[in-house]
Amino acid sequence: MTDRRILLVAHTGRADIYSTARHVMKTLEAAGIELLAVPGEGTELDLTILESGTAVEEGGESPVELVLALGGDGTLLRAAEVARPLRAPVIAINLGRVGFLAEAEADRLDEVLNALIAGNYTLTERMTVDVVIERDGVVIDKCWALNEISVEKASRERILDVVVEVDGRGVSAFGCDGVLCATPTGSTAYAFSAGGPIIWPDVEALLVVPSNAHALFARPMVVSPHSTVSIHVDPSGHEAIVACDGRRTHEVPPGSKLHVRRGAQTVTMVKLGDQRFTDRLVAKFSLPVRGWRERSH
């Protein structure tokens, strides 16, 4: 065995994924790489558990070479949540449905493992967003996201009344179901479903997308990565919630202000080969790329 270690994050509860994880474990073990598991996982595989709460200071050495996610986009987001404090890169093998953020599909598993074993991969940084929630000038909560921060109404039957500002200047006030602040990585997720544009991952920007807004001007906005987007919740209105990547939720009382900025810490992703984002976009959304001029008559 070498001192190389990889951390596994898997979509638990599926027999096919446990079978895949066993294959990963045996392949890496044969190459002298130890596979670790996060707390609550790895029991069936008899893996060593990485101590919960492990974090690495900036410039420090990560206890693992990378974090390997087996599952869909939800599993990758969970893996990113684990990898970020470890300052370790993350890679996902798609065993779910869309798997837009995954680097490869399940049929390329052995190819991916061979590349990881050989160290034949590169790293790319993905922008994140930080949110600070304050009320009456007091910070009451903080969070971060790789995909998006979603400010939503807490009750289905209510309307959320907000004022949206950019760099302290009001842009629009409206009632809505919510407001999304997304990264370019998250532009193909919830923000896309809400009508936002797709932004290439290497573009640094903040994306602001109102959800079902009752307003004449409630269009998606692409904002400078150096700007601060503030969302004011009506003090006479209803309670809201903020969801970070759809995983971590926080209560937002009426009268609160949420300040969204470019994240102080990125998420590092493993990249294999030279696949272009355009090709992934076309493949995942099954986009037609032949125009009418190429049709036979």
Reported as a single tens digit per residue, the pLDDT across 275-287 is: 888 988 898 888 8
The whole-number pLDDT of residue 17 equals 82
CA gap 192, 108 in Å, rounded: 27
Average pLDDT across the chain, whole number: 91
One-letter amino acid of 176: C
Domain at 5-126+267-285, CATH class? alpha beta
In the chain, what is the greatest distance between 2 CA atoms, to the nearest angstrom? 68
The whole-number pLDDT of residue 53 equals 66
> Is the backbone of residue 40 left (phi > 0), alpha (psi -120 to 50) or beta?
left
Segment 118-141, tens digit of pLDDT: 999 999 999 999 999 999 999 999
Segment 228-266, tens digit of pLDDT: 999 999 999 889 999 999 999 999 999 999 999 999 999
Residue 147 contacts residue 189 (beta carbons within 8 Å): yes
Specify the fold of 129-262: Tumour Suppressor Smad4 (2.60.200)
Among candidates 222, 197, 21, 192, which has minimal Cα distance to 106? Answer: 21
Q: Catalytic residue positions? A: 73
CA gap 134, 17 in Å, rounded: 41
User: Is the pLDDT at 82 greater than 80, yes or no?
Assistant: yes
β-pairing, 34-37 with 48-49?
parallel
Segment 11-43, tens digit of pLDDT: 777 778 888 999 999 999 999 999 999 988 877
Residues 198-225 have a mean pLDDT of 92
The whole-number pLDDT of residue 295 equals 63
Residues 101-124 have a mean pLDDT of 93
Q: What residue spans define the domains of the chain?
A: 5-126+267-285, 129-262
pTM of the model: 0.90
Q: Where are the alpha helices (DSSP H) in 108-244?
A: 109-118, 190-193
The whole-number pLDDT of residue 56 equals 82
